[in-house]
Chain A
């Protein structure tokens, strides 16, 4: 009985590991091949005047496979039709914390995404992109992997903003100047946060928290519940951005 239960648990574990590998393979494939046709892209966070637009292909996802494997549970939840094609449906749920969760639909034959969506911890839709019609084959593209996070960046961020408590799973991956301040890109492998150190405050809004620290203001922006964003900044004791200066890249670099 115990042996059967152990085997069952191992089988379930293996299935989850396989689901992760399937998603990783599809996301890797999407760097060189995409399905094209007609897509509908909806963005509700951050809010914009026209949330929905048409596109010829899905937008690129900025994925860091190692962080994705560390921070998300991946489960295949069935097969559905997308744009008239059979697609495997995967759910990606954060292992800890209340970051956004994702659903991906991967074409069973082409092994590339046909649709994906991001929802907040409360289930509210943040972003969705889905092909509604596809051409007969995939097209070749070149989407480079994001650059590796600079070594020592996390320690430098801790020195620059002592008391900062990053939301679970998030780690800094890039810094760039922003006016008289700077901004730090944080990710859990799939979701992004932007931390800004600026000489001026910003108005509070959904997904935006700000706090004055000495003579500067620290903002945290992302699709997280408001209390989580505020809690991350609540303990910041001082702000001396100098340690981050050596990591600062040009503004057009991709995190």
Chain B
């Protein structure tokens, strides 16, 4: 006849075995971890590349707008009377 306590001890031994197996990495676990890390790196790389592309595109847009923006128009020429006034004030005040 088996003592209840002995049966209980056997159960714990099984559990220890299971736990030991769980803590010990198998080649399958390592492969799974490797696949997981590879996918993760690829995703992060894609994400970083996308951010960089976006930044470069924004910079190009800003540079393009700056270069291609029409220059601020110069004020139009003054009427020729402005030149005549300058002459008159210097040389023709008494005339």
Contact = CB atoms under 8 A, between A and B. Distances in A.
Interface of A: 41, 43, 46-47, 59-60, 62, 127, 129, 174, 178, 183, 185, 192-194, 196, 200-205, 207-208, 210, 219, 221-222, 251, 254-255
The A contact surface, by secondary structure, is strand
B87 A46 contact: yes
Interface of B: 74-80, 82-84, 86-95
Contacts of A43: 92, 95
A185 B90 contact: yes
A202 B83 contact: yes
Contacts of B91: 62, 185, 192, 194, 255
Nearest to B80: A205
B86 A221 contact: yes
B87 A203 contact: no
B67 to A, nearest CB: 20
Nearest to A191: B91
Nearest to B88: A46
Given A41-B95, A203-B79, A219 B86 contact: yes
Given A200-B78, A202-B77, A60 B94 contact: yes
Contact of B87 (A59, A200, A210, A222): A222
Contacts of A208: 80, 83-84
B74 to A, nearest CB: 8
A210 B76 CA distance: 13
Nearest to A178: B86
